[in-house]
Structure formats: structure tokens, C-alpha cells
Amino acid sequence: MLEGKKIILGVCGSIAAYKSASLIRLLIKAGAQVQVILTPDAANFITPLTLSTLSKKPALVAYFEPETGQWNNHVELALWADLILIAPATANTLSKMANGLCDNLLTAIYLSAKCPVYFAPAMDLDMWKHQSTQANVEKLKSYGNVFIAPGYGELASGLVGEGRMAEPEDIFNFVLSEVKKKLPLANKNALVTAGPTYEAIDPVRFLGNHSSGKMGFALADELAKLGANVTLIAGPSLQQNKNRLVHRIDVTSAAEMLDACNVYFETANVCIMSAAVADYTPVTVASQKIKKQEDKFTIELKKTTDILKTLGEKKRDNQILVGFALETNDEEKNSIEKLKKKNLDFIVLNSLNDIGAGFKADTNKITIIDRNLNKTSFELKTKEAVATDICLKILDLLNK
């Protein structure tokens, strides 16, 4: 969710400045670009070198760096940022921000910014309780800045009370949830299936297929980036979750996948079934390894439950259900039949006749056909880009 987000982290002169190091690590790990701006006093508490190393960018303190001749343009920096986070925010900086003072690089950036600003105060108990500090916080909130409340506990002075900066993990999670709230799929639950299923023959053998799960994992990632709460039900796959917010449930067989889907479908707003589910499973599973005997060997198979069709039968009008069709011939005709039979909002067709489409590849070439039989064909793209196209169609339907 913070992937590629440009964040200015303002660090003020408080002992809590040491916590900024952990905060930077969390932001960088989440994929954000972090530009640290220290107030001159902050540089006495934590070195710019430490923060530059962690943020992978030179931490800036002054408008002008005489040693290098570098001019740090506050307007450019303010416009670069998608978000400004001031943590720790001292009583002094809060007061300047509330009253429009800009006597250092950080306050000048704040005053020039158009993006959301978050501030996490840190100061001693009595400074925090002071009427002027409280008034400044209220003023900043009334300007639309987002307040991250300080915690209660032992302070650097030895006093115990409110005023210590919120913990880096809490600040990080707060920012994450605020960013998420503004995303188009905020408060929506998404259910995705991915990968193959394995149908056991005996304790060492199974019937499976070549699905890698790449498409489903890319979809789960994209839905999470758009703010959805994603449950990914994955058959056996070597893929790794790209997004730590995706709730992954590992299953093996079609029956296990069906059970998991039934649990999560009730609360799902969007369901994309991209798994290559086995259509047949052995009637019996041998409890011991089957020994070779005859020249010919037959396994009796029975049909699995069609998960997508089952969900289509109980789908409510406010749920979006999407299926996949992997075809080798009569592609459109077969897809439209599946779309209707399984009561889908749209179907994603990929043909094995297209080079670069289908199992294992990093790319896919799809055609989307919706229930009004509108048809959109796309170029060959990475599976991540295909996931974006599919999600755009979902956003389109949700906005209708």
C-alpha cells in the first residue's frame, strides 16, 4: 500500500528522535521512498548519517549546505511528497506549524505542502498538557493535519504521564490504515483463488496440473493495493505473498478449496476464481502406497464440485463474481457458456493458442467478456499488468 509512496519524514529535536530510525525501516520495508528532513536540533539527537543510511537518501537539515553548495528547495520537496509525517513533533515545531512560522527547512516544507500531513507529538508531560500546546494541536487538526496521539508512560525526564511519542509500529500502522481508507476498495472484502489443486491417489501420488498461481497472486496483490481486505485461497504453489496484508490460506485439494471458499464467500464483495481446480478426483484414496503390478492401471475418478458455479448459485446482487476460462478452441463461445452457466459478472478468457498466455508464463493475454457480452481484448502483458486491467473492470462495475 505504501509501495512507491513518497514520504517526507520530519524529525524534530526530541529524545524520541531515536525511534525515527525504526520508523524509517518500517516505511522503507513497505516500499515507500523516504526523504528525511531534520530540524537543526534533531541533528543533535540522532545523526543525519544514521537516517540517511536507513532511508537510502541524504537526510537534509538546511536550505543550503555550504560544504557541497547544495540548495534544498523547500517548494520542490513539498510538492514531491505524497505524504508528510512529522515524528517526533516537538512543542516548538507544533507551535511554528500552527502559527505559520518557517524558520527552518522542515517548517518551510510544511507550509508549502499540498499533501496530507501527519504529526506525532513527543514532549514532556507538562509541556504536553500546557494550554498553548493543546491549542496548537487543535489548530493543526482544524487545518486538516492528522494527529497521532502520544502514549502514556515513563518519560525521559523520569516523570510518568502522557507525552511519549507513539511507538514506530503504531505510527506506521496508523498511517497505513489512513492511506488505505482513501483507496477505492477500502472496506471491501475480496476473495481470490489461485494455483492448482492436488487430488491424492495414495500417500505419495496425486493428480495435479501446471498452474503456477502467478495470476492469482498478482490479483491478490493488486486488490490489496486498492485497499481491499484480501483472502487468498491458494492451492500448492511456490509463489510468495507480495503483500503482507493479504490473508493467505493454503489448501491442497478441490474439496478443501471449496470449504474455504464457502466460509469467506458470505462476506466477500468481490470474488475472483483464478485457480485451476481439478475437475475430477479419485473415488478412493489408497491408504498405503500403491505397488506396481499389472501392465495397465486404472484410477476411477468422480467429478469435483464446481466451486465457481456453487458460488454463482448463491451470489447476491451486490457481489461481483469473476471466473477464468482457459481454452484451446471455440474460445469465445465456450467462455460465454461458462459466464452464463456460472452466473458471473465477467469472465477472463485466455487462450492457449496465444503465445505467452496461460500456465507458468510471466505474461498473459486476456479478453474480458461481461454479462452484457461487452468484449474487451488486451495485448500480451505481464500478469501484474493483467491484474490491473481486471481490477479496473471491477472498479468500473462497482461504480455503476
Return the range that interacts with ligand CTP (CB under 6 A); candidates 62-70, 114-122, 170-178, 317-325.
317-325
Residues 145-204 that bind ligand CTP (CB under 6 A): 193
Return the range that interacts with ligand CTP (CB under 6 A); candidates 108-116, 228-236, 245-253, 271-279.
271-279
Give the one residue of 308, 321, 339, 394 binding ligand CTP; rule: CB under 6 A. Answer: 308
Q: Which is nearer to ligand CTP, 179 or 260 (CB)?
A: 260
Q: Which is nearer to ligand CTP, 188 or 342 (CB)?
A: 342
Q: At its nearest, how many Å lie between ligand CTP and the CB of residue 275?
A: 5
What character string, x for contact with ligand CTP (CB under 6 A) and - otherwise, covers 278-297? -x------------------
Residues 336-365 that bind ligand CTP (CB under 6 A): 338
Neighbours of 284 (CB within 10 A): 10
Q: At its nearest, how many Å lie between ligand CTP and the CB of residue 369?
A: 13
Give the active site residue among 72, 104, 145, 209: 209
Give the one residue of 122, 233, 277, 369 binding ligand CTP; rule: CB under 6 A. Answer: 277
| 86 is a contact residue toward ligand CTP (CB under 6 A) | no
Give the one residue of 140, 273, 357, 387 binding ligand CTP; rule: CB under 6 A. Answer: 273
Return the range that interacts with ligand CTP (CB under 6 A); candidates 125-133, 166-174, 203-211, 272-280.
272-280
| 324 is a contact residue toward ligand CTP (CB under 6 A) | yes
| 264 is a contact residue toward ligand CTP (CB under 6 A) | no
User: What's the chain look like in SS3?
Assistant: CCCCCEEEEEECCCHHHHHHHHHHHHHHHCCCEEEEEECCCHHHHCCHHHHHHHHCCCCECCCEECCCCEECCHHHHHHHCCEEEEEEECHHHHHHHHHCCCCCHHHHHHHHCCCCEEEEECCCHHHHHCHHHHHHHHHHHHCCCEECCCEEEECCCCCEEEEECCCHHHHHHHHHHHHHHCCCCCCCEEEEEECECCEEEECCEEECCCCCCHHHHHHHHHHHHCCCEEEEEECCCCCCCCCCCCEEEECCCHHHHHHHHHHHHCCCCEEEECCECCCEEECCCCCCCCCCCCCCCCCCEEECCCHHHHHHHHCCCCCEEEEEEEECCCHHHHHHHHHHHCCCCEEEEEECCCCCCCCCCCEECEEEEECCCCEEECCCEEHHHHHHHHHHHHHHHHCC
Query: Active-site residue 209, yes or no?
Result: yes
Q: Which is nearer to ligand CTP, 138 or 279 (CB)?
A: 279
- Residue 60's identity, in one-letter code, is L
Q: How many residues bind ligand CTP (CB under 6 A)?
A: 15
Q: At its nearest, how many Å lie between ligand CTP and the CB of residue 298?
A: 21
Residues 236-255 that bind ligand CTP (CB under 6 A): 254
Q: Which residues of the shown chain bind ligand CTP in the complex (CB under 6 A)?
A: 193, 254, 273, 275, 277, 279, 304, 306-308, 323-326, 338
Which positions are catalytic?
209
